[in-house]
Structure 1
Amino acid sequence: MKFGGSSVASAERMREVADLILSFPEERPVVMLSAMGKTTNKLLMAGEKAVGCGTTNVSELDELSFVKELHLGTLDQLGLDRSIIYGLLDELEQLLKGIAMMKELTLRTRDYLVSFGECMSTRIFTALLNKIGVKARQYDTFDLGFITTDDFTNVDILEATYPAVAKRLHGDWINDPAIPIVTGFLGKGWRSGAITTLGRGGSDLTATTIGKALGLREIQVWKDVDGVLTCDRNIHPKAKPVPYFTFDEAAELAYFGAQVLHPQSMRPAREGDVPVKVKNSYNRRAPGTLITKERDMSKTVLTSIVLKSNITMLDIVSTRMLGQYGFLAKVFSIFEDLGISVDCVATSEVSISLTLDPSKLWSCELVQLKNVWASIYSLLISFSCQ
């Protein structure tokens, strides 16, 4: 059972989630939580501001004050001891002072910074469950066995993760049964040993990875909408939930702009053949969306419409391509060398039109695009000389 940030945004919401979990008395789920509300955004903003604020002013950052007040206030409202997160708050402030001292926020440090949100939310929720008599145990995924690449802020999960996670969770359950409360989109770089993240929304991928690793009966992703919709309600308010999807449909929709699921999250579920149910934690009676390997498509005309904004499109047009072989291969090798993912491609004899994944264009997007054009221009010149 994975719960997003809006589902655990306050003490009241945490009580609701605890009650929701207890409404499945025959189940002993693995529970995964995102950071509370807007915590991740606030942490990132605090990091950006710390770069230029000076070490003596870090404690006065509005974003840091917001994070402290939200979590300490939640503990007070739940009747829990504040000391549960004192150590993490001290560590967070020291990290921000280090960022201010170095006047630099690297991708590696950014991942470390945002990890505090989920580390605190899971500790608070674990303490709540134990208080109401439900035995629970907290886990940080970077210590649980989630092994990733070292591409900070957007890593991939390595295959070694599955046996490591299964061994740890099975072993702990056999020795001392307790509901696991797990952080979301965090891992540990296999070379660096540093905390990494799967990118925004990556806790969906963490949930399906655990589902596959343990061979679970079902993965439930609890959001603040009634399932996967026919389109974004911000675009059309009368969008409706779609009751059934296939893994391939859900992955395609997510990749091309649907906000409900992480684009990569369907892969482990499909490989492990574990159904995924998208439910609404604010409206638990809503049937939600069930995602499986196959579904009846006989009466299906249109599934859903998605919109992807901020697309970068490149048009490469030259008569020098006419009749040439190997040109496409060399164009795509340029994107491979620069680490840029291509979304869509259309070609003719003298042109290539393609769109680039905005999440793969780094903050120095203009520099990246200049590198692309310089490389493609050199390629066109080389073909004209043949």
Structure 2
Amino acid sequence: MTVNRNAAVRAIPAVFLAVTSITVLLRCYVRLRLVKAFGWDDGLMVLAMAVYAMFCGVMIGGSLYGTGKHFADLTASHRVTAMEYWWLCEIGYCFSSIFCKCSICIFLARITIKRPHLAFLYIIMTCTVLIGLVLMFALLLQCRPVSYFWTRVAFDPNDEGTCVNTEVVIALTYAYSGVAACCDLAVGIVPFFIIRGLNMPWRRKVAAIGICSISCIACCAVIVRIPYVPTFADQDFLYATYEVAVWSNVEVGLGIFAGSLATLHPLLKLLRTAFIQPGLKRLSSRSSSGPTAPKPDFVSVSSYPSPSVSLFRPGNVMNTTTTIQADGEWVADPESCSPRASRDTGMRTNDILIQQTFNLNTGWESRNSSVA
């Protein structure tokens, strides 16, 4: 079956642009309204989304002028315009990929406890930024003048310019793909070592590791793209490099989607509390006449992050409240819990309520925590 390459170049960015926009907007809602802790990782992801939107826009624009089509089927002006859009796509891909990967690493740094894990994340970020910038400058400055990259396809004998050997660009792309795939896989493995030492039920550990590791699925697109890298040397450039364009867009789109999805647990918990749990309680009240044992819903952390990562945290002091309670009728009981809890919640009759409020100071001066 023949694939309409031009239509695919137009459709795939449109789909991923819609999906990633929704997930990033939900991420911003969670961090700004629910958690109220908008950090560096969120800012970088928003920046990655903005550049990715530009990437998708110029990719769709290039498809209108001939990306995915044969040179022979295009006019000289359309060939030149499509190649110029391709050049802009290279800028969008490099910057959006760097911002996205750094955002994911900083997100993991915010929950990292041990210094070796933090150092490992710094190494991944450094490698990602360095190899990304090297590839970007190599692609952008491969021709002299820069505009010769797109004007040469007009095949005008009066147009003068030079470009580096295509084999150099192919070698750098191979190097970038290898480093990017290794970094993505490493980012997927790090959450296992971060979360396994936490004092929490094993099922919740598995879920947390899965959520934090989902961002490494972008490496699949990198690996799939590798066999198509030699198409950079093809004379029918716009048609031959269709797979490279598509999988590059998919790589960044998957990274932004998965990296934002890992932050949406508070929103999912809110929806579950608002819509799912009331229905389950009604069903359980009909099938059971006696009281049920309370189910704890908390996570205990044995130690707190190092102050060296406070740069990536939205604030130095935060409150953490742990509550265990069963069903019953609400009555006021301000002496049984913290002052803040007495304003927000009350006791129930025939009920057990255990509540602790921790003030955690993660600043540079002190690492002590007080229990109120």
Do both share a fold (TM > 0.5)?
no
TM-score (norm. length: structure 1)? 0.23
Relative to its length, the structure with more helix (as a share) is 2
**Per chain length, whose mean CA-contact separation is higher, i.e. which structure has more relative contact order (CA < 8 Å, sep 6+)?**
2
TM-score by structure 2 length? 0.23
The structure that has the greater radius of gyration is 2
